[in-house]
């Protein structure tokens, strides 16, 4: 089992809908979780960081962490075409390395 | 605009050339990273510097040589690269905080990258 798993997609949603991106991980000792957005040909951009169980909201983005079930998700409300990108889930464990999932491609259709 | 600045943005070099990639941050971060990213793959960690000392080398070939002259600068010296080394090279930085694990794992902030092509 990979340390971080994401559905590669593409996930396609209509404009204005909620996009739901999911990530599971295998190491129960993982402490820190991050969602990055990456446009084609650009560098990753931090969207959210989450460390505790529950929800964390920032504008249209909500990250959800469930350590018992070992999953972390990202909800994007009122999706816009400009949200079309690859979303990378990452976690840091005790070795301080950022371990990435393969990324989920999101397409928001006007 | 990012707070981590990488130069050059694009670099084309032959297999016998020597060149350097540069990275600069003024956020007071004491951890800096080099990543290599191929198309449709996540970034692949190459090196980590903590307080200007090399702390992680992910078994990177010696044709890549990192250097951290001070807390704001990170270089990657390139020599005798191969065509398969063509990729996007990303620099990142983060806070480095000791203490409980959840406080010490700060998010990494990336530069715009250098697109490297080896002829």
Interface check for A94 against chain B (CB to CB < 8 A): the answer is yes
CA distance B30 to B28: 6
E strand segments, chain A? 4-6, 11-14, 19-25, 32-38, 45-50, 54-58, 61-66, 71-76, 85-92, 98-100, 104-109
Q: Which pLDDT does position A72 carry in this prediction?
A: 96
Q: Tens digits of per-residue pLDDT, B81-111?
A: 999 999 999 999 998 766 655 555 789 999 9
Closest to B74 (Cα-Cα) out of B100, B41, B35:
B35
How is residue A24 written in tokens?
């599971």
Task: List chain B residues with pLDDT less than 70.
Answer: 1-2, 97-104
CA distance B116 to B22: 13
pLDDT confidence band for A31 (50 / 70 / 90): confident
**Which of B33, B101, B112 best probes binding to A when mutated, by most A CB atoms within 10 angstroms?**
B101
Option in B45, B90, B102 nearest A43 (CB): B90
Which of the 8 DSSP states describes residue A18? P
Tell me whether residues A43 and B108 touch, CB distance under 8 A: no
Q: Tens digits of per-residue pLDDT, A34-92?
A: 999 999 999 999 999 999 999 999 999 999 999 999 999 999 999 999 999 999 999 98
Percent of chain B beyond pLDDT 70? 92
Residue in B with minimal Cα distance to A102:
B42
Q: Which pLDDT does position A42 carry in this prediction?
A: 95
Which residues of chain A have a CB within 8 Å of the CB of B102?
31-32, 51-52
Which residues of chain B have a CB within 8 Å of the CB of A100?
42-43
**Which of A3, A31, A43 best probes binding to B when mutated, by most B CB atoms within 10 angstroms?**
A43
Residue in B with minimal Cα distance to A47:
B107
Please give the torsion angle defined by the CA atoms of residues A95, B45, B3 and A104, in that order, rounded to the nearest 10 degrees. Answer: -100
């Amino acid at each position: 089992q990979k340390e971080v798993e994401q559905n590669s997609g593409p996930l396609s949603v209509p404009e204005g809908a909620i996009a739901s991106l999911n990530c599971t991980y295998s190491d129960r000792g993982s402490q820190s979780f991050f969602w990055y957005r990456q446009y084609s040909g650009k560098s990753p951009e931090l969207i959210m960081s989450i460390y505790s169980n529950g929800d964390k909201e920032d504008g249209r983005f909500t990250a959800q962490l469930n350590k018992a079930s070992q999953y972390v998700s990202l909800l994007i409300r009122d999706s816009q075409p400009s949200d079309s990108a690859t979303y990378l889930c990452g976690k840091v464990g005790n070795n301080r390395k950022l371990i990435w999932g393969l990324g989920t491609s999101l397409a928001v259709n006007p | 605009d990012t707070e981590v600045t990488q130069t050059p943005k694009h670099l084309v070099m032959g297999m016998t050339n020597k060149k350097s990639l540069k990275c600069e941050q003024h956020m007071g971060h004491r951890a800096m990273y080099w990543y290599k990213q191929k198309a449709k793959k996540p970034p692949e960690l190459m090196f980590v510097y903590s307080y200007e000392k090399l702390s992680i080398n992910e078994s990177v070939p010696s044709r890549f040589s990192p250097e951290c002259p001070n807390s704001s600068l990170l270089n990657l010296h390139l020599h005798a690269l191969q065509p398969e080394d063509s990729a996007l090279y990303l620099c990142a930085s983060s806070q480095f905080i000791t203490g409980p694990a959840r406080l010490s794992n700060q998010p990494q902030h990336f530069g715009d990258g250098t697109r490297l092509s080896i002829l």
